Amino acid sequence: MQPPGAGAQTSSTAATAMTTSVTHGSSTFPRQPVHHTHMGSHMPPQHVQQPPSQVPPPVPPEQEVTLSEEQENILDLVRRRKNVFFTGAAGTGKSVLLREIIKVLTNMYSPKEVAITAPTGVAGLNIGGRTIHSWAGVGYGKESVQRLYDGLSNFKKMRWRSTKALIIDESTRATCYVIHYRKPFGVSLHAGRQSVRQIGTHRTVSSRGRSPSLRIE
């Protein structure tokens, strides 16, 4: 699944493993190019086998992860402040990569400047975040931009303005967006350059014949 306007450009690494493409200036937010990556045909899904023993094994301490070349390439795009969309089949290492992305972003910016979100509460909790609707403070997001904006509390407006990077982890769709903001949200809203037109669910968006995904324009 790709947002509207996505083109295709083969990545320099692992030609069979993933493709990377960049969108330019369509009506889809963000306006910055978005790198689209499909992860992992070289990494087969992993099936965890439970040991036959009755005694559960001790929980190992969190270990340093050595990322695969594919994961490292995507992380590098994030380090270079590129907007990234990545997807991949189950077990291809998206969650491991996302944890590293969060570490990089919270070092690059500050933890308060990184919004970690997901379309559902459970998914949000899995990554230490919250729902995109709750973070944005827009409820179901069905109203016009102006009404949504007018309904934001000062606290929420401040949160929008101070956010430097937005992560939307659509784990149920095996996709993840990482979006850097060069301009503060609030200013952009006022300037009308980058605006929230709609934050909707699959149903509200697809019923308008657009991308079947949570979408920010």
Ligand X SMILES: Nc1ncnc2c1ncn2[C@@H]1O[C@H](COP(=O)(O)OP(=O)(O)OP(=O)(O)O)[C@@H](O)[C@H]1O
Question: Which residues contact ligand X (rule: CB under 6 A)?
Answer: 46, 65-68, 71, 88, 90-96, 174
H-helix segments, 33-116: 69-79, 94-108
Minimum distance from CB of 89 to ligand X (Å)? 7
Minimum distance from CB of 45 to ligand X (Å)? 7
Minimum distance from CB of 79 to ligand X (Å)? 17
Would you give the DSSP letter of residue 180?
E
Quickly list DSSP for 122-152.
HHHHHTT-EEHHHHHT-TT--S-HHHHHHHS
Minimum distance from CB of 97 to ligand X (Å)? 7
Nearer to ligand X, 46 or 207 (CB): 46
Minimum distance from CB of 72 to ligand X (Å)? 9
Would you give the DSSP letter of residue 158?
H
Nearer to ligand X, 40 or 200 (CB): 40
Nearer to ligand X, 68 or 83 (CB): 68
Termini Cα distance of the chain: 17
Side-by-side strand order, sheet with 34-39:
9-10, 19-23, 34-39, 83-88, 175-180, 165-170, 114-118, 130-131
H-helix segments, the chain: 69-79, 94-108, 121-126, 132-136, 145-151, 154-162, 185-191, 202-206
Nearer to ligand X, 148 or 176 (CB): 176
